[in-house]
Amino acid sequence: MSNVVIVGDGAIGLLYSYFLSTSNHVTLITRSKKSGKQYYYQGSSGKHLINIKTLNNQHLACLANIDIVIIAVKAYQVEIALSQLSPYLNDSCKVVLSHNGMTDLAPIMNNILNNQPIYFLTTRLAGFKANSTTVIHTGNGESILGAYNSPADQQYCELVSTLCAIPDLSYSKQIDTIRWQKLLINIAINPLSGFYNVKNGELNSPKYNSDIFNLLSEACLVANKLGIAVTLPDSLESSYKVMSATANNFSSMHQDIMHNRPTEIDAMCGYICQQAELFGIKTPYNQYYLDVIRHKKSAN
């Protein structure tokens, strides 16, 4: 059994914890000050205690012999999470980043060893927290793992074997393209659902068509300038499929706004605007939703 550390007790962090705890020793790092806090998973077969150890992020010194770290926090929290953990990571520990959106990885990489294997994990697992201790599993979808650096690509077989309890897990050499495909879906859904206070399925209404088209048109142009092979028709099709498949769900950005939490808008529309500026490209729709969502709740 591997020693797996999962950072973040959001819905995805708890879903990972539940699945991986069946065949690994899992420690969940939280910001909760309650010692020994217990978490529960609720799916089609009822409610179950998640068999994990919980640890407050101020008491990391007891961590030892970590095989895998999964960083399942918001994009803007990744850098600080890794800086807190880095003193306890040996060079063989595999680090997996799993968050929405895209960020500048340069500051993040400063916190870890040069030969540390770094991976990305994208997922379409769906769930939400019914309360502070219970995650409701609302749907499955593919989870795709990919390497960020050469040490990771050389060691991925062992990692896939360890993480195989996560439903529909696979490994891809095209993780950059896959991350962009996920980003485009997020851009089509998250800002609009958050701003207009609607479930994902309601975005299928014709009144949102123009904004979705223009947001994705700008984002695809930027992606293509960066050498990412995505197309507007494919991005629109994928986005509307996800809206329909998650019709009764609220997006993560909607939930962040409703609970007065920082959002990941800077890692979505903000990332498009940032990259567009490098090419002298105007992105008024992404800029508009970046500004209005920041106004609702700053992501800084």
Averaged pLDDT, 168-181: 96
**Cα separation of 81 and 111, whole Å?**
10
pLDDT surpasses 90 at 139:
no
| 64 Cβ contact list (under 8 Å, min separation 6) | 88
CA dist 160 and 146 (Å) reads 10
Give the total number of structural domains in the chain.
Answer: 2
What is the structure's pLDDT at 297?
59
Both 162 and 187 in one domain: the answer is: no
Tell me which of 100-114, 132-146, 164-178 is least confident.
100-114
CA gap 170, 164 in Å, rounded: 8
User: Are 167 and 194 found together in one domain?
Assistant: no
pLDDT band at 300 (very low <50, low <70, confident <90, very high): very low
Residue 299 has pLDDT above 70, yes or no: no
Least confident of 33-47, 106-120, 158-172, 201-215: 106-120
CA nearest 48: which of 72, 25, 14?
14
In this structure, the answer to whether residues 198 and 229 fall within a common structural domain is yes
Give the mean model confidence (pLDDT) for residues 51-64. 90
Give the range of the structural domain holding residue 216, as residue numbers without chain letter.
Answer: 177-296
Residue 147 confidence class, pLDDT cut points 50, 70, 90: very high
User: Residue 193 is part of a domain; what is its CATH number?
Assistant: 1.10.1040.10
In the structure, what pLDDT confidence band is assigned to residue 26 with cuts at 50, 70 and 90? Answer: very high
Give the integer Cα–Cα distance in Å for 133 and 261: 18
In this structure, are 164 and 198 located in the same domain?
no
End position of a domain, from candidates 173, 202, 220: 173
CA angle, residues 136, 6, 153, in degrees to nearest 5: 115
Residue 8, domain CATH: 3.40.50.720
164 and 230, same domain (yes or no): no
Domain boundary among 148, 173, 198: 173
Q: CA-to-CA distance for 98 and 83, rounded, in angstroms? A: 16
Listed residue (254, 293, 37, 261) closest to 128, CA to CA: 254
Angle at CA of residue 57, ends 96 and 269, nearest 5°: 50
Residue in 171, 41, 180, 190 with CA at minimum distance from that of residue 96 = 171
Q: Are residues 283 and 223 in the same domain?
A: yes
pLDDT given at position 6: 97
pLDDT of residue 104: 79
**Is the same domain home to 164 and 231?**
no
Q: What is the tens place of the pLDDT at every residue in 182-208? A: 999 999 999 999 999 999 999 999 999
Compute the distance between CA of residue 214 and CA of residue 207 in angstroms, rounded to an integer: 13
The domain boundary, picked from 127, 147, 173, lies at: 173
Question: Does 114 have pLDDT greater than 80?
Answer: no
By the 10 Å C-beta count (0-12 exposed, 13-18 middle, 19+ buried), 90 is classed as exposed
Mean of the per-residue pLDDT values of the chain? 93
Give the helix ranges, DSSP H, for the chain: 11-20, 78-85, 106-109, 150-154, 156-162, 175-196, 209-225, 232-245, 252-258, 269-279, 284-296
Mean pLDDT within 48-53:
96
Mean pLDDT of 166-179: 96
64 falls in which pLDDT band (50, 70, 90)? confident
pTM beyond 0.85: the answer is yes
- Whether residues 155 and 32 fall in one domain: yes
160 and 227 assigned to the same domain: no
Closest among 244, 292, 293, 241 to 264, alpha carbons compared = 293
Mean pLDDT, residues 44-64: 91
Q: Residue 295 has what DSSP assignment?
A: H
Query: What are the pLDDT digits (tens) for 228-270?
Result: 999 999 999 999 999 999 999 899 999 999 999 999 999 999 9
Q: What is the DSSP letter of 115?
A: T
What percent of the chain stands above pLDDT 70? 98
128 lies in the same domain as 48: yes
* pLDDT exceeds cutoff 90 at 286: yes
Tokens at residue 155, please?
């060691």
**Are residues 145 and 181 located together in one domain of the fold?**
no
Q: Are residues 225 and 95 in the same domain?
A: no
